[in-house]
Structure 1
């Protein structure tokens, strides 16, 4: 088969040319894609609630797919591509759901996750993301020089599989290590998962802490040193500057120093991150306004050219889902969402306005997400930024329509934001998958169908997964029964913004200071841009760092350092800088730890005992620390390895 050069080097043609037809949507591909979509949705739902972020699953899905399809006598690269297209939809949909829907629990609008409401919002919100990107495919992938890094990387993995290579061993080994580590810490209680120390001195406070999590190290490796450093800097601004200042001014409560720092973060300084993310999200939209308008215009022009092309045959590799089908599918998606809105509000005209806002914001922000994923990749795609922007607009409109004292206002705004978050998350992932398909010679409309199948499959299990995690660990704030819940930082942020607009419960001074910090960061980034600096300061990365608990940011920073060190080592040895064994190892750590987190929730829920798996020994935190260091060394060695370990 003919190889594909990267788009940067100049593409010579897809692996499978347009004139050649191979089986794509087969029974085994559909079954495997659906199963992987559900598994990856579960894993990333846990990771999103635990750490406030998810990572692209296209590459792990491609590796798993090629390993399974090798067992069949006949399989091909396009089947592998179809599987990863459906599978990665589960991961992306999980991000849209867990960043928003748990906010309804945090606001106490719901006491439990309602199956049909969650499923309809997830399924049809995700389908909107697929549909909105169909007219943008040619504009963003063919006509504009967007990189789509995960899409290109996935295509490379698929080509390796087609040529008989692999990398499954790295993924499987790391998955086992991540799973065993999570079992030892969270399940068997052999060590504490969090190491924290704080001390009151000189009228102020000093704090340091870290989470012993291989998954977070893997996240840091994937996002890279630039983003990892910025997240760490954001955390340092909060925990090493803002909190000590509050203590020095006498705002600290009484108690243990660690508890004091945690209380000030949860009640005061995390709202610095709220303000910073609001400005960051709006700034991103301003920066993209020209590209967004031109991208939409190109998509519309491409559709008109197709309609007036005199009946010329469209090549297989350029055949999208027909626009009439897209139109009918949009109508079919909007109707159930409108019914959900109306069921909640009980006011038809308000529900109609909500549906219109959802459509307009959904299309605009799906285009933004699709474009942004082409620039920085799906793992760095700031879905939270566009969701916050949607939430603010929705909240302000609802305040104008039903009043600031309406008890349904914050939750109604969150319903809109949840749909847009699902649409935006799927849009970014869909464009990555379509980029991979473009490079290997897939049929676009078949990928779009499989993306929709993956969305529906994942949507059907999101409510049970969230219910399981809620009952096992708790979500949001600690309680007597669940003192260490999943933090759900993004959902907590969404709840805070919605509540703040309607009820004025936000500490607005902190919000405004956070906005000012974001403006300063933006100015710094513009200066670096003018100097063509390789190190940039995207404001949303710093904003997320300000908001996250510091304990989560330390291992992310370590993972970024490992990625930087491994890259330097590979260059010194003359190895290809695109080496992806480290990426597979990091993805395995994330997947293994997250899946065990899900599985351990089952006995906890069944027995109503969070200590059901504990062995009864005194926790030895030094043991967990040494094991984590060993895993980090393994990640570095994998990232600098030149041999395949299958």
Structure 2
């Protein structure tokens, strides 16, 4: 690969400003999506399309300048994931009443910058010497290379964004023309039956992006929880749990199902995630060590020698200085929580060690399955459990601050891991198009810090409008924040609370069985795989969220069948899926941004139904299902018409 001519602009002022604006907008959108659905999606591709359109209006931009914009803007998804998976747990635990701006900025901003620094030594190993797939990085590179005519892509994004926005406005948090979900639940004697689907177009888009394999795995996990585990518990074990039995006595079947899931069954997912995280670390041990060694060796070799522009990373000397500068305020933050340097210093050490380790894991997983499928929440659970064990020794089992301290460690590591995986994804795109690595690394650091600036106001707005966590009388349709609720439950349970350890143990066994099945499929060379952390997410999250994701993955599969794609034809697959990916990104972005806009009049008025139309204009589940089917058909058409 030849280096680009020195005159080709990359890190220009307009690229930096545009990247920062897109990063903040996409971070807000992903914050809503993550609190609502427990998932975020990579934003590099829509950012690249918007960048090409804007820079074209401003006189045109080079492929490398557009690459810089998408690099910084892609931090919107990673910072949002790092924040919403962990920081709401501090409100759920009652430690905060709202989201403190300076604290959120410090955790997200410094955690994101640490993710950039920790991922730099891994670039050579994971991208150059052991080239992993990095599917979204390759897709972004293809979009950039096709950037001579960005018009059609922008039109697809705009149309899908308008659809997602309109349907979000029509849903239960807006005009209430259609409900948020369609649910059916009933009893057959002692046995419980349940089926549900959310009516969100954004979830269809998420499913299209992650594909059928992941869609099957996660919906299977949810079916196991809701159609096997909950009925079994209700029929045979509820009598041995009088407190829960009294709580659900006389309730509707739907409420009974959610109560059993919340109190017991979702912890099967916790156990599965735990064993899956341990397995992931074990299976990647050799790759991680070789990546770290080769990255450091390359940095030493490059000192004092001429390095091609396409191989220049951030200088190791300045990285070490920056590492110290970023760690010191985090140590002070931990000290402000525990007021004991004998505890805050070990907290800082845990954060550094687990941060570097899990950035490596996150980067490798992003290379295998992409940033959208990167199980950062599983990584964070492992961090919180490890931190909790150490803090239990230092603080004692009944410490009132122990759970908060563990969440604070996990929050920084989660932000670092999310940004680290995203950074390597962007560096893959840059490697393909001939960009300068250090400029991308600097840009994603700027993008990450820009996102951190807006996260606290966005979270406060969403919390005031919708509520976060368990539904209340004031907020009956609260954003569920599933990962943050899980983090809070695990941390609190280890410090004097109560966790259903039997369920967690059974979940560990389920995780081991899933791993064994996946290894069997791997040994047979099967194209279908069963990633254990994907199954864990399905077990943990509500079934209604998984069904539209599965449908979106099924649409992607039908598109591949129409074009008769073969398993190894990756370049053609990326080209064919590009319109569908853009349509999906538009649905997600339009719905998420409208959810934030709707929150403003709700907060100002103090009424959740401020936009609701009279009941005459409110329709039921059937109309909602028809609307979702129409959107699914439009998504299929957008991709099926792609040139073969």
Does the CA contact (< 8 Å) of 2:186 and 2:253 recur in 1? yes
3-state SS of paired residue (1:187): coil
Map 1:332-351 → 2, pairs under 5 A: 332-351=325-344
User: What is the aligned partner in structure 2 of residue 586 from structure 1?
Assistant: 584
Does the CA contact (< 8 Å) of 1:292 and 1:367 recur in 2? yes
Per the TM alignment, residue 572 of structure 1 is displaced from its structure 2 partner at its CA by 7.0
In structure 2, what is the Cα distance between the partners aligned to 1:76 and 1:249?
A: 65
User: What is the aligned partner in structure 2 of residue 610 from structure 1?
Assistant: 608
Deviates more, 1:19-28 or 1:283-292: 19-28
2:73 to 87, 96, 106: 87
**Are 2:433 and 1:440 equivalent residues in the alignment?**
yes
In structure 2, what is the Cα distance between the partners aligned to 1:318 and 1:19?
A: 14
2:179 to 189, 192, 199: 192
User: What is the aligned partner in structure 2 of residue 240 from structure 1?
Assistant: 227
In structure 1, what is the Cα distance between the partners aligned to 2:479 and 2:127?
A: 37
Q: Count matched residues.
A: 627
User: What is the aligned partner in structure 1 of residue 190 from structure 2?
Assistant: 203
In structure 2, what is the Cα distance between the partners aligned to 1:465 and 1:507?
A: 33
TM normalised by structure 2 equals 0.95
User: What is the aligned partner in structure 2 of residue 601 from structure 1?
Assistant: 599
**1:270-323 deviations in Å (ceiling 9; x for gaps):** 11111111111111111111100111111111112112xxx4321111111111
In structure 1, what is the Cα distance between the partners aligned to 2:179 and 2:404?
A: 36
Structure 2 gaps of 5+ residues are 239-244
Structure 1 gaps of 5+ residues are 1-12
1:99 to 75, 85, 89: 85
Does the CA contact (< 8 Å) of 2:48 and 2:69 recur in 1? yes
3-state SS of paired residue (2:615): coil
Per the TM alignment, residue 165 of structure 1 is displaced from its structure 2 partner at its CA by 6.7
**1:244-286 deviations in Å (ceiling 9; x for gaps):** 0111126153111111111111111111111111111111111
Change (3 A) 1:145 1:486: same
Map 1:475-494 → 2, pairs under 5 A: 475-494=468-487
Does the CA contact (< 8 Å) of 1:211 and 1:552 recur in 2? yes
User: What is the aligned partner in structure 1 of residue 45 from structure 2?
Assistant: 59
Map 1:504-515 → 2, pairs under 5 A: 504-515=497-508
**Are 2:32 and 1:29 equivalent residues in the alignment?**
no
Map 1:211-610 → 2, pairs under 5 A: 211-249=198-236, 251=238, 252=245, 253-254=248-249, 255-307=251-303, 311-571=304-564, 576-578=572-574, 579=576, 580-610=578-608
Does the CA contact (< 8 Å) of 2:53 and 2:150 recur in 1? no
In structure 2, what is the Cα distance between the partners aligned to 1:47 and 1:30?
A: 25
In structure 2, what is the Cα distance between the partners aligned to 1:345 and 1:572?
A: 57
In structure 1, what is the Cα distance between the partners aligned to 2:185 and 2:532?
A: 28
In structure 2, what is the Cα distance between the partners aligned to 1:572 and 1:128?
A: 40
Change (3 A) 1:394 1:572: closer
**Are 2:135 and 1:135 equivalent residues in the alignment?**
no
In structure 2, what is the Cα distance between the partners aligned to 1:336 and 1:215?
A: 38
Per the TM alignment, residue 492 of structure 1 is displaced from its structure 2 partner at its CA by 0.9
3-state SS of paired residue (1:576): helix
User: What is the aligned partner in structure 1 of residue 166 from structure 2?
Assistant: 180
Per the TM alignment, residue 624 of structure 1 is displaced from its structure 2 partner at its CA by 2.2
3-state SS of paired residue (1:482): coil
Does the CA contact (< 8 Å) of 1:469 and 1:598 recur in 2? yes
3-state SS of paired residue (1:73): coil
In structure 2, what is the Cα distance between the partners aligned to 1:577 and 1:414?
A: 40
Per the TM alignment, residue 140 of structure 1 is displaced from its structure 2 partner at its CA by 1.4
TM normalised by structure 1 equals 0.95
Change (3 A) 1:53 1:300: same
Per the TM alignment, residue 18 of structure 1 is displaced from its structure 2 partner at its CA by 3.8
In structure 1, what is the Cα distance between the partners aligned to 2:582 and 2:69?
A: 17
Per the TM alignment, residue 38 of structure 1 is displaced from its structure 2 partner at its CA by 0.3
3-state SS of paired residue (1:405): coil
Per the TM alignment, residue 617 of structure 1 is displaced from its structure 2 partner at its CA by 2.5
User: What is the aligned partner in structure 2 of residue 114 from structure 1?
Assistant: 100
Deviates more, 1:444-453 or 1:619-628: 619-628
In structure 1, what is the Cα distance between the partners aligned to 2:209 and 2:59?
A: 34
Change (3 A) 1:26 1:485: same
Deviates more, 1:139-148 or 1:456-465: 139-148
Does the CA contact (< 8 Å) of 1:63 and 1:166 recur in 2? no
3-state SS of paired residue (1:197): strand
Does the CA contact (< 8 Å) of 2:565 and 2:573 recur in 1? no
**1:12-53 deviations in Å (ceiling 9; x for gaps):** x26xx3444311111211111010000000000000000101
RMSD of the TM alignment (CA)? Answer: 1.5
Change (3 A) 1:31 1:512: same
User: What is the aligned partner in structure 2 of residue 620 from structure 1?
Assistant: 619
Does the CA contact (< 8 Å) of 2:53 and 2:151 recur in 1? no
Change (3 A) 1:164 1:172: closer
3-state SS of paired residue (1:476): coil
In structure 2, what is the Cα distance between the partners aligned to 1:391 and 1:118?
A: 18
3-state SS of paired residue (2:470): coil
In structure 2, what is the Cα distance between the partners aligned to 1:539 and 1:312?
A: 44
Does the CA contact (< 8 Å) of 1:93 and 1:422 recur in 2? yes
Does the CA contact (< 8 Å) of 2:182 and 2:625 recur in 1? no
Per the TM alignment, residue 642 of structure 1 is displaced from its structure 2 partner at its CA by 2.5
User: What is the aligned partner in structure 2 of residue 4 from structure 1?
Assistant: none
**1:305-344 deviations in Å (ceiling 9; x for gaps):** 112xxx4321111111111110111111101111111111
In structure 1, what is the Cα distance between the partners aligned to 2:642 and 2:445?
A: 37
In structure 2, what is the Cα distance between the partners aligned to 1:416 and 1:248?
A: 40
3-state SS of paired residue (2:183): strand
Per the TM alignment, residue 504 of structure 1 is displaced from its structure 2 partner at its CA by 4.1
